[in-house]
Amino acid sequence: MKSSTWQETKEEIERIAVLKKYNILDTPPDGCFDRVTRLAANILKVPIAIVTIVDTDRVWFKSKYGIDINEIDREPGLCASAILSNELYIVEDAISDPRTLSNPLVASEFGLRFYAAVPLQVRDGYNLGTLCIIDKKPRTLSAEEKQILEDLAQILIDQLELRLEARTANFQQNQVLSFAAHDLKNPLATILMSANLIKEESKALPGMIHQLGNSIERASKRMTVLINELLESAKRLTSQIRLKYSQVDFTAIVSRVAASNLVLANAKHQKLFVNINSNPLILGDESRLSEIVDNLINNAIKYSPPGTSISISLTEKDRIAILMVSDQGPGLSGDDLQNLFLPFMRLSARPTGGEISTGLGLSIVKFLVEAHGGRIWAENNKDEPGARFVVQLPSVMLQ
């Protein structure tokens, strides 16, 4: 824990926010947690073992062995003290320990004498509760017993993390259905309306037919982009993308993809500046490398205001090819920088020309970059508005 007191400090507010994210409070009994408390009691030979979750004003028992109550007030709770530590918290004889001498659980007929707890610290660095064992007589724990208690607590932490990941994945899958339904609705309506107009106005001027045909084409392209990204994301999630390796001229890829995006940039009165200072060769899949470059340039065009400039540079240092795509858009918020490459995450900024955004492209790019042994990150420009994406890929010697 990051604070020495549980009152309404900034750290405690943040801890409670993290606790809510794990959605563990007041959940039904759970076989995994119950097995851990039973194991803790039996292996360590204590009458009581509890998985506690420390809420704002109570200590709730997610699992309990050897005790019938479901929660206690936070104020006298030993677990509320234990979560202030990042290590095993032990009271060997509560009646003579100044930390617990006046505690109601010690002074009352309950008669607590021994208490040991391991904080359940999640990846955000906050302690949500404890795995604790209790005895009504004084005792000590050997080094081996301490390790057993810590190992059992780690099993619980792993369960909390796995369940959070599962809920997040389920939420993301629901999001993609919502996004797909929303993003396909408009182009489908355009296609249907245009087709009906063509049928009804079969004697219309050729110019109108041409205009309706363009509407159908644009709508179809939008649907194609969305469907392709959904398929690519599905392949990525099931690890079905197969790379076809060859020695690839990365300079030629960057030049070709930049040229292919000129039409989009010109339509928004944007300028593309390409600066290539090296000629790196990459051992990789040419089509996938092209996809990486195209997505980054296309994103820069999509999120940059009309009339701005986009810079694309390619250098090489110590057998590492470095691609940078910089724009003059609104930049990236803190949340953007943290969640940028997660599937279905949409940026705080919005496309400036009504373009479609599924929130899938950057997650696919990250997957493809890492599949080529590279890395990617984003950062805000220091001296001007906008952001830049940096890709590093290992290059090979000319053969």
Q: Where are the domains of the chain?
A: 10-167, 241-399
- Flag whether pLDDT at 2 surpasses 60: no
Task: Kindly give, in sequence order, each residue whose CB lies less than 8 Å from that of residue 142, ignoring residues fewer than 6 positions away.
Answer: none
Which of the two residues, 211 and 120, has the higher pLDDT score?
A: 120
Q: Position of tokens 């009994």?
A: 29
Among candidate residues 398, 367, 212, 210, the one with its CA nearest the CA of residue 295? 367
How far is the C-alpha of 399 from the C-alpha of 287, rounded, in Å? Answer: 21
Report whether pLDDT(122) > 60: yes
Each residue of 23-57: pLDDT tens digit? 899 988 888 899 999 999 999 999 999 999 999 88
The pLDDT value given to residue 4: 40
Amino acid at 67: I
Q: Is residue 350 pLDDT above 70, yes or no?
A: yes
- How is 323-389 classified by DSSP, letter by letter? EEEE--SS---HHHHHHTTSTTPPPSS--TTS----S-HHHHHHHHHHHTT-EEEEEE-SSSSSEEE
Classify 68 as helix, strand or coil.
coil
Of 48 and 216, which is predicted with more confidence? 48
Beta strand pairing status for 127-135 and 114-121? Answer: antiparallel
Per-residue confidence band for 191, with pLDDT thresholds at 50, 70 and 90 = low
Assign a CATH topology to domain 10-167. Beta-Lactamase (3.30.450)
pTM: 0.50
The answer, yes or no, to whether residue 64 has pLDDT greater than 90, is yes
Asked if 131 and 79 count as a contact pair (C-beta separation under 8 A), the reply is no
CA 312 to CA 238: how far, in whole Å? 32
Q: What is the pLDDT of residue 376?
A: 94
The Cβ of residue 162 has, within 10 Å, a number of other Cβ atoms equal to 11
| Tokens of residue 375, six digits | 């890395």
Q: Which of 295, 290, 292, 302 is nearest to 265 (CA)?
A: 302
pLDDT for position 40 = 95
Rounded CA-CA distance 306/308 in Å is: 6
Helices 10-22, 143-200: inter-axial angle, 10-degree rounding: 70
Q: Which fold has domain 241-399?
A: Heat Shock Protein 90 (3.30.565)
What local confidence, expressed as pLDDT, does residue 1 receive?
Answer: 43
Q: What percent of the chain has pLDDT over 90?
A: 38
Q: Is the pLDDT of residue 294 over 80?
A: yes
C-alpha distances out from residue 188 to 163, 182, 273, 280, 358, Å:
37, 10, 36, 43, 16
